[in-house]
């Protein structure tokens, strides 16, 4: 059996997405910047996709900008906010994706901002009291806190964060890459400045994403070179990717409730089975369902003598997963998230992430495989 439990890294393309992308490739090859009929036809397709995304998010089409993915979108929001919105101070979490954390650290190295890291509790939840304290002491702050952590699945109440940021006139950006397509994002209600999405996290194609820029914020391009994306991103549009992104997000919103119930059921079932099969297993991050991304389960295992070989052993057994120990053989290689939580570096950690295509039979196979590995390496 071959089992794919690494959906937080990337998801398989939905058949409906493949179909609409293939049809577009076959029938619409024009450059959307061209003024002739072939170009106008493709331009219409791109703008229809933009309206679809904006409609699902309850935003204006003029607030949606297509990018090469979540990393570019995060970089654009951060770098251009600092340059164009007069930002001198930023707040983020040590658990952020490196697309955010490294970008902000680089801006601090260049002397453009002072960066503060928000306090966390032992489960990795952000301290909103500390956020208030930092904002009260620093005018014109850029706050970047992800909606859900990509490694341990912790959810942050971004509506509460948005309200705090509004109170202190701070600019709020949230990396929503892991939750886009899995939760409703109502941008008419959520007072936020920037959010990001990447199609391949919700059964769309790789190499395409988007940045939402609240209309009250006026920023300049990150990438120059052309008038594409209403003069906000130079470069010929990834038309087929954009079409696939819009279709994938549309499907997610149509099927969200049933898929959430199915995937949450798989996660709950796997955790219960793991606890029965391997009594000393522990959950990394928040284990409360309401405060944890339903697609992600990160656990540490007691079989310490195969810490460096666990993922390899799972791969050989036919299981694709990800993760790793907080540190590996005393080096700095490993998860910055688990290191920040001071997880036991001698215990191997693994992230299982689920999609609508996974089954209980696959869970049973993985739990049996893990139990065998741990029993053979006590």
Burial track 203-223 (b if 16+ CB lie within 10 A, e otherwise):
bbbbbbbbbbbbeeeebebbb
The end-to-end CA distance of the chain, in Å, is 25
pLDDT digits (tens, 9 = 90+) for 39-54: 999 999 999 999 999 9
Q: Which residues touch 166 (CB under 8 Å, ≥6 apart)?
A: 172, 191
pLDDT at 308: 75
Q: How many CB atoms lie within 10 A of CB 112?
A: 16
Q: What is the CA radius of gyration of the chain?
A: 21
pLDDT digits (tens, 9 = 90+) for 281-309: 999 998 888 899 999 999 999 876 776 78
| Alpha carbon distance 190, 172 (integer Å) | 11
β-sheet bridge partners, residue 116: 91
Low-confidence ranges of the chain (pLDDT < 50): 325-332
Tokens read off for 275: 């606890």
Phi and psi at residue 191, to the nearest 5° = -85, 85
Domains, the chain, with CATH or none: 3-10+255-376 (3.90.1150.10), 15-251 (3.40.640.10)
One-letter-per-residue 3-state SS of the chain: CCEECECCCCCCCCHHHHHHHHHHHHHCCCCCCCCCHHHHHHHHHHHHHHHHHHHHHCCCHHHEEEECCHHHHHHHHHHHHHHHCCCCEEEECCCCCHHHHHHHHHHHHCCCCEEEECCECCCCCECHHHHHHHHHHCCCEEEECCCECCCCCEECCHHHHHHHHHHCCCEEEECCCCCECCECCCCCCCCCCEEEEEHHHCCCCCCCEEEEECCCCCCCCCCCCCCHHHHCCCCCCCHHHHHHHHHHHHHHHHHHHHHHHHHHHHHHHHHHHHHHHCCCCEECCCCCHHHECCCEEEEECCCHHHCCCHHHHHHHHCEECEECCCCCCCCCCCCHHHHHCCCCCCCCEEEEECCCCCCHHHHHHHHHHHHHHHHHCC
- At residue 198's C-alpha, the angle toward residues 192 and 199, to 5°, is 130
Q: How many CB atoms lie within 10 A of CB 357?
A: 15
Q: Is the entire prediction scored with pTM above 0.85?
A: yes
| Alpha carbon distance 134, 89 (integer Å) | 10
pLDDT at 13: 98
| Alpha carbon distance 274, 278 (integer Å) | 6
**Residues labelled catalytic:** 327
């Amino acid at each position: 059996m071959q089992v794919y439990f690494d959906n937080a890294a990337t998801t398989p393309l939905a058949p409906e997405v493949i179909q609409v992308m293939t049809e577009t490739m076959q029938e619409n090859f024009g450059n959307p910047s061209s003024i002739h009929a072939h170009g106008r036809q493709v331009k219409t397709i791109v703008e229809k996709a933009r309206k679809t995304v904006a409609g699902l998010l309850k935003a204006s089409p003029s607030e949606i900008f297509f990018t090469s993915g979540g990393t570019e979108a995060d970089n654009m929001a951060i770098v251009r906010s600092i340059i164009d919105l007069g930002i001198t101070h930023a707040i983020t979490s040590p658990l952020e994706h490196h697309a955010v954390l490294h970008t902000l650290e680089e801006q601090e190295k260049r002397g453009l901002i002072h960066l503060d890291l928000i306090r966390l509790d032992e489960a990795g939840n952000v301290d909103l009291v500390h956020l208030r304290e930092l904002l009260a002491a620093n005018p014109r702050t850029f706050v970047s806190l992800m909606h859900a952590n990509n490694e341990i699945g912790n959810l942050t109440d971004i509506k509460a964060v948005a309200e705090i940021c509004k109170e202190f006139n701070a600019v709020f950006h949230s990396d929503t890459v892991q939750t886009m397509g899995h939760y409703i994002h109502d941008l008419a209600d959520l007072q936020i400045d920037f959010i990001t999405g990447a199609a391949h996290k919700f059964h769309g194609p790789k190499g395409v994403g988007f940045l939402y820029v609240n209309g009250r914020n006026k920023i300049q391009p990150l990438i120059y070179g052309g008038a594409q994306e209403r003069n906000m991103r130079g470069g010929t549009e990834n038309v087929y990717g954009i079409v696939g992104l819009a279709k994938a997000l549309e499907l997610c919103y149509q099927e969200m409730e049933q898929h959430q119930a199915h995937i949450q059921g798989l996660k709950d079932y796997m955790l219960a089975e793991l606890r029965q099969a391997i009594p000393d297993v522990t959950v990394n991050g928040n284990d409360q369902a309401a405060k944890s991304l339903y697609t992600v389960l990160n656990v540490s295992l007691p079989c310490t003598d195969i810490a460096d070989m666990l993922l390899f052993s799972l791969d050989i057994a036919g299981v694709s997963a990800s993760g790793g120990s907080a540190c590996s053989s005393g080096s700095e290689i490993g998860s910055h998230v688990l290191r920040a939580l001071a997880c036991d570096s001698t215990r191997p950690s693994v992230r299982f992430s689920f999609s609508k295509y996974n089954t209980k039979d696959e869970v049973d196979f993985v739990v049996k495989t893990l139990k065998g590995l741990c029993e053979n390496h006590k």
